[in-house]
Structure 1
């Protein structure tokens, strides 16, 4: 063990000797074979010396953290058995990281994707490699929608039927294409079917007997029992966001009294004060509920937690656009008038009560007269003692609100996210270095800088670290940080750096290595949830709402070019090294993409119906010139007020939500059925065009046959699938001749061959 970064923290380095590593590799191969892993990639390896560093890390990590029932040590951070283990992490391979980051500057890597050769370099980190493959495929597919978006933007054709149809078709095609793409990559990387050999979680136990048994219906019952809790948070979040939306869209537009500028910022302040707190509270409950569900495997645990977390993230991302598209724009004038009447009436009542209180105190009726005058004139203030006007009576809705929201979501938010992921850690690191220098003094500048470079995380972590210097090395150096939580500041990431006297007698290389380990121990853990969530949310903006502003795919394409490089920098610099494990899919994110693709058919159909009257003309289109709907200019320079509503919202032709939204709902349901048919057609075509007969499909079939051949050969069976050698043929021929001689054939039916005589006779005749 070595001293950690803070007082009471210990770094425990664990080394896996060669015999232990060889046994672990053999156990994994046997386990893979028994579980039917349809790949010979691991079986073909005859020596542990050929294992990659990532495979060594994975094998040792699984042995350390697996449950005792699964043959592991059961060392799990935060568990009851190991309460002082804070975290488990692997050390970065700095040489590989530098080489990988340098490859991004090559001419072949300046495009919008990553080739198979570059992906193969990180294939041993299967989850990370699969994420970059997904991001690359998604970015490539955006090039087509970006081209379409530019064309329809130049033609000034938002809410186009053609664009919306192609958008829905693109979303279906991408989801089905990625379904095949991840299958190909799993075969290429030897991880196909890895879910069959997944180890049980150490936290998985039967609450009644203490054994590793838990029936499926108990887990499903717990999942159903957690739904009411999730619904409560969903309703609460939707209510808060709707209230903030109404306040921002209507109240701030109507208020003209004192502190108007402050009131205009109040929706943002309310969002910052309420929404993150509610999401944080929900996240804690989501983790507790997922733990209570007692999942046997980490993949199902992560899938359950991912769906719970992303559900509320999607509400935050899309609810504002949904309210603007289906509430604010169609019924904004009516809602504005209703809110104005409510505010004016409330203001008049408050003024009247204040005036009566003043009369009671002064014994006069002057206050009542002023209140009556203010109420009758809605605050127009003609008299000297009249009430000051605080509510505007002529406020109008913003016709370009949808386009402005799309610009904010697809441009502003993405720029902020990129800066937060890539740029902000450098700034916080520099600030921490400056603070450390001030505290420790000039003599400890070097050590303070190393201790202060831990990033912007809040709590210190320490754990079991596995590292390997090279691929040829058999032993895996693993390190464990067992943090003692004594002291108030023991768990803080940037606690006071403790310097011990014997450190100065250590080797220079060792001190540098330990400083690097302490630096990595202070870094936050890397999780794929944030990156996948960002990309899936962006996919939703493009497929669900880009018909509003056709340049949204272009902005997404440019952002993803930076995202590819920013994520690589973040993984290698700002986060700990992720623990490798075998996986063959992106998990619940594929189901989420499928759901968004289905939802895009509904939203695009409804938006085209509501905002494109050339396709669905309104009965009152002749009265569009007398509409009370306010016109404006959108981001593309075209009139932004939907002409459908110019015809719908007139004083002579009032429309209720039922008469307007019911046809849109019926059209959306029709689009849902059309989406199901289109998905089946696209899947059928892609399966035959991109999968059947492909190199990966043939490799998968050959791998399964090879496993069976090896099994039969180990049993001494020759001539598998017609592979008969010369010796086998001669032996079989000799046996056949002996059998024919010994065979009882009194009639000579089997020994007399007249066919040869007939053939020779026919040859002579010709």
Structure 2
């Protein structure tokens, strides 16, 4: 593959073109700020390690140079850049590797507009190596470990296998790619422009392509998903606003349309990401997932297809380890559920029943307990989940991340949703009965005596407690509004404030250090021009930033999606709040990446992976929650024959103005058709009846989803531009292979055929095939002859 030319950078940059930076701790921290002399043997060992690292980088044919970290903090910054020929060679090897692995790149759709081929390499065959590809190749060279293949295809290229605190180079403390400040500034400036189109339609595909070109497909796919989710929320927001203005809460019509919308959104995005994969040349990249360095194979075998040595870990061993991890999962689920339930109960008792001394302070106890217990359990689970996922011994990074994502989000989503579940299915149906039982047994008296520190504290003779149905909408407001504002503030503004405070402290410390230590006392002094000093300071500042993690952003959107589809029948304004929040979320996430995070290492991706299945699961569970909520709490002016009295009671609590208790004839109640082993009267009967209704609705939902998927596949995918391009590319590959095979046969040998009438002894049945023995024409000729 020959290089044609390098595109000029659209966004001017004063800093040098650096692909990667490595930080090496040359002098121990305890010697940096002191006057103690560094031992000679330590300097010799560090020098030997440093030179070994440099030789390792140069062996990869990378350009390498180094600078001392500003302010002489004992670190050496090693700058790495890949020559154009090296990148072109890796691209050629990647194309061969992709072809063998089943990756289909439709080049006619994978060409970026000329306006943003900045910093790219373009080849004679019109191949473009984008800035994201450049960093991805360099990262592959640095981190990929030499060794055996873990798939049926050989490795693309061997790398150095470097990582932080590598056993070979223990003082390699960090490594990262650098931000392109010109692109970042232009990106934020472009997305900050306000227009009616941006309000209603979000960002265009051109901007998504620009992100893919610079940050890689994985990050671009997240913003494509977020943008589509934002635009798709518009009809749901309009629907919710209309029902809220009409005062129709727990509406069956709203719930039915909302669950249908959720199904359509999931399936439309499934088609949408497939189109992005075709346009970006990512179809099939799941077959070439990044190998996981920590993978430990059970054995090395010969692949029956390629006959290469392959590292394997049998599927049943991994599945068995997953089964062994289930007790730990159930333990933490039970622990977290217990903590949330006890905190919920404490909040009800102290907030709605307790009237003793210090009430304003006592009501803060549940909040304090929640802020201590829940994060502690989540932190412990995060450590445990990481250990369990490592124990499963996944061979690729993608499978490891998928398993860890399910474990982490599965427990994380309990925290925001558990409160609504407890309120809807425990507090409102059983709240008064539960509090009466605690009161009659004296538990409330003993609890209040302990809280008030008054042994003689006495409860009133009769407990005056009534459930507050408004608690449902209050909790949903906190989930859809308050928590979103807090997340935006903590992700976007808090890091900026903390960095400003940190810089202020550093300036104060620098002034003090300059007084105590002049330049003559410094071990080494280097002179850099102003532009280089600014560049080195920027590199130092980026090393202080955390690594960008897509899990946090996807989890936030999945939680919001769940809050809307699961519970918004309680408060139909939830989609409106989500729509408004997501307009800011798109821009705040962009600001977060360029300001508060390191530059993400570009990765290829053809799907959002596990998160798509999470969304589909939430949409399916939404059928159950909406059906039960509507059945239990829907406002109806009259109570029909199919609604038991207890259900009317629950509705009356939420809608006292429009409902009245109306006894039902027992023979006409829905409970009369229940099996005998199920409760047939009381609150429990209403809950069981709602569950039966929900199960019936869920079965109907599955059928509807299959119909929706069938229709959308034909509307959005069949005969689309991307589908035709994919089929055309696959056809061209087959034709090309066939042409090569025919040329190979023609050039290798000319096939000589021998007449079948030959007397060659290798044809023992030659007499049978002799044309003189053919009887067909003779039969027709003799048919007209008379006997």
TM > 0.5 between the two?
Answer: yes
Aligned partner of 2:342 in structure 1 is 243
Aligned partner of 2:218 in structure 1 is 127
2:473 matches 1:414: no
For residues 35-86 of structure 1, the C-alpha deviation after alignment (integer angstroms, 9 at most, x for no partner) is 1212243899557983111101111111221121242222133555554444
For residues 481-536 of structure 1, the C-alpha deviation after alignment (integer angstroms, 9 at most, x for no partner) is xxxxxxxxxxxxxxxxx996755512222221111111111101001111100001
2:39 matches 1:39: no
Q: For the structure 1 residues 622 and 101, does the alpha-carbon distance in structure 2 shift closer, same or farther, using more than 3 Å as the test?
A: closer
Equivalent of 2:437 in 338, 341, 366: 338
Aligned partner of 1:187 in structure 2 is 278
Query: In 1, Cα distance between the equivalents of 2:106 and 2:658?
Result: 60
Aligned partner of 1:457 in structure 2 is none
Following superposition, the deviation at residue 212 of structure 1 comes to 2.8
Equivalent of 1:300 in 399, 410, 423: 399
Does structure 1 conserve the Cα–Cα contact (< 8 Å) formed by 2:428 and 2:469? yes
2:187 matches 1:96: no
Query: In 1, Cα distance between the equivalents of 2:653 and 2:629?
Result: 18
Does structure 2 conserve the Cα–Cα contact (< 8 Å) formed by 1:191 and 1:582? yes
Following superposition, the deviation at residue 714 of structure 1 comes to 4.6
Does structure 2 conserve the Cα–Cα contact (< 8 Å) formed by 1:141 and 1:174? yes
Does structure 1 conserve the Cα–Cα contact (< 8 Å) formed by 2:249 and 2:635? no
How many residue pairs get matched? Answer: 639
2:496 matches 1:437: no
Query: In 1, Cα distance between the equivalents of 2:733 and 2:691?
Result: 54
In the superposition, the TM-score normalised over structure 2's length comes to: 0.74
Flag structure 1 segments of 5+ consecutive residues without an equivalent.
Answer: 356-370, 381-391, 446-497, 633-638, 719-743, 748-766
Does structure 2 conserve the Cα–Cα contact (< 8 Å) formed by 1:149 and 1:552? yes
Does structure 2 conserve the Cα–Cα contact (< 8 Å) formed by 1:4 and 1:518? yes
SS of 2:559's equivalent in the other structure is helix
Aligned partner of 1:204 in structure 2 is 295
Aligned partner of 1:536 in structure 2 is 558
Query: In 2, Cα distance between the equivalents of 1:537 and 1:294?
Result: 29
Equivalent of 1:63 in 131, 141, 146: 141
Following superposition, the deviation at residue 581 of structure 1 comes to 1.2
Q: For the structure 1 residues 167 and 645, does the alpha-carbon distance in structure 2 shift closer, same or farther, using more than 3 Å as the test?
A: farther
2:704 matches 1:690: no
SS of 2:76's equivalent in the other structure is strand
Superposed, 1:289-688 pairs within 5 Å as 289-341=388-440, 342-344=442-444, 346=446, 378=459, 393-441=463-511, 505-612=527-634, 614=636, 617=639, 639=655, 643=659, 656-688=682-714
Does structure 1 conserve the Cα–Cα contact (< 8 Å) formed by 2:267 and 2:709? yes
Superposed, 1:271-282 pairs within 5 Å as 271-282=370-381
Does structure 2 conserve the Cα–Cα contact (< 8 Å) formed by 1:57 and 1:90? yes
Q: For the structure 1 residues 616 and 697, does the alpha-carbon distance in structure 2 shift closer, same or farther, using more than 3 Å as the test?
A: farther
Stretch deviating more after TM superposition (548-557 or 248-257): 248-257
Superposed, 1:731-742 pairs within 5 Å as none
Aligned partner of 2:130 in structure 1 is 52
Q: For the structure 1 residues 89 and 618, does the alpha-carbon distance in structure 2 shift closer, same or farther, using more than 3 Å as the test?
A: farther
Query: In 1, Cα distance between the equivalents of 2:371 and 2:662?
Result: 36
Aligned partner of 1:389 in structure 2 is none
Aligned partner of 1:471 in structure 2 is none
SS of 1:698's equivalent in the other structure is helix
Query: In 2, Cα distance between the equivalents of 1:664 and 1:628?
Result: 12
SS of 2:192's equivalent in the other structure is coil
Which structure's relative contact order is higher, taking Cα pairs within 8 Å and 6+ residues apart? 1
Query: In 2, Cα distance between the equivalents of 1:309 and 1:172?
Result: 24
Does structure 1 conserve the Cα–Cα contact (< 8 Å) formed by 2:223 and 2:586? yes
Query: In 2, Cα distance between the equivalents of 1:223 and 1:662?
Result: 33
Query: In 2, Cα distance between the equivalents of 1:253 and 1:182?
Result: 49
RMSD: 3.9
Q: For the structure 1 residues 640 and 577, does the alpha-carbon distance in structure 2 shift closer, same or farther, using more than 3 Å as the test?
A: farther
Following superposition, the deviation at residue 322 of structure 1 comes to 0.5
SS of 1:88's equivalent in the other structure is strand
Following superposition, the deviation at residue 4 of structure 1 comes to 4.0
Query: In 1, Cα distance between the equivalents of 2:389 and 2:448?
Result: 52
Does structure 1 conserve the Cα–Cα contact (< 8 Å) formed by 2:263 and 2:705? yes
Q: For the structure 1 residues 669 and 45, does the alpha-carbon distance in structure 2 shift closer, same or farther, using more than 3 Å as the test?
A: farther
Following superposition, the deviation at residue 17 of structure 1 comes to 3.1
After TM superposition, where is structure 1 displaced by more than 6 Å over at least 4 residues in a row? 208-211, 347-351, 442-445, 618-630, 644-648, 744-747
Equivalent of 1:285 in 366, 378, 384: 384
Query: In 2, Cα distance between the equivalents of 1:282 and 1:239?
Result: 15
Query: In 2, Cα distance between the equivalents of 1:150 and 1:23?
Result: 57
Does structure 2 conserve the Cα–Cα contact (< 8 Å) formed by 1:159 and 1:608? yes
Aligned partner of 2:203 in structure 1 is 114
Q: For the structure 1 residues 615 and 189, does the alpha-carbon distance in structure 2 shift closer, same or farther, using more than 3 Å as the test?
A: farther
2:163 matches 1:76: yes
Does structure 1 conserve the Cα–Cα contact (< 8 Å) formed by 2:432 and 2:465? no
Following superposition, the deviation at residue 21 of structure 1 comes to 2.6
Q: For the structure 1 residues 214 and 77, does the alpha-carbon distance in structure 2 shift closer, same or farther, using more than 3 Å as the test?
A: farther
Q: For the structure 1 residues 543 and 95, does the alpha-carbon distance in structure 2 shift closer, same or farther, using more than 3 Å as the test?
A: same
Query: In 2, Cα distance between the equivalents of 1:88 and 1:641?
Result: 65
SS of 1:212's equivalent in the other structure is strand
